Structure 1
């Protein structure tokens, strides 16, 4: 079990970015859950969960991501994952959870307005 984990939150014009850094496992998931509970989202906001610094994520971490999605939904906000590590992307796909989250290559990209092609 790991203790190397931190969260940071920053406001953006489109909502909030929650960065999860380190190893998200059963020993650190309570810290992630607490950070999620403290988020204040409004209708129309977008919560971007920045995973660029995430080194490991087990089932407890996936539960935290689902909790973040639930919080966003209750607030009338949307959620997107940014910089999803390859191993986590594969696990989300195997579990049938990939469609629950929009994904973007970076947190900055997630905040850009959608463009039509």
Structure 2
């Protein structure tokens, strides 16, 4: 099992969280804690970079949804970037590919957000 690592960075469009390792029952509370401590201004975009995600279970999906909810409460948007194939398949299966905005990478997510301003 790969330990979860979450690195926060600020982009011109809003915060970017790089999530690597396993996002599961044991580690999902860590993502929730970090997201709850973020300040996302109205009109910004919270990007969750999943390029390094090795595994994601239903608890991890729930934590991603919590991040989306927090952003919406603050008047911001959310985007997933570089979603691994196995996680993308889960998102499609449960219909969350229609809930999340998904981009091939962080650059595409932030460029799209910047262009929308």
Identify the TM-score tier after normalising by the shorter chain: over 0.9
User: Deviation at 1:3?
Assistant: 6.4
1:88-103 maps to which residues of 2 (within 5 A)?
A: 88-103=87-102
SS in 2 for 1:44: coil
Aligned to 1:32: 31
Aligned to 1:60: 59
Count of residues in correspondence between the two structures:
114
- In 2, Cα distance between equivalents of 1:97 and 1:104: 14
User: Deviation at 1:86?
Assistant: 0.6
- In 2, Cα distance between equivalents of 1:34 and 1:48: 16
1:6-45 maps to which residues of 2 (within 5 A)?
A: 6-45=5-44
Structure 2's unaligned 5+ residue stretches are none
Structure 1's unaligned 5+ residue stretches are none
1:97-112 maps to which residues of 2 (within 5 A)?
A: 97-112=96-111
- In 2, Cα distance between equivalents of 1:54 and 1:18: 12
- In 1, Cα distance between equivalents of 2:85 and 2:98: 16
User: Deviation at 1:97?
Assistant: 1.1
SS in 2 for 1:84: coil
SS in 2 for 1:55: strand
Deviations 1:1-26 (A, max 9, x none): x5611111111100110111100111
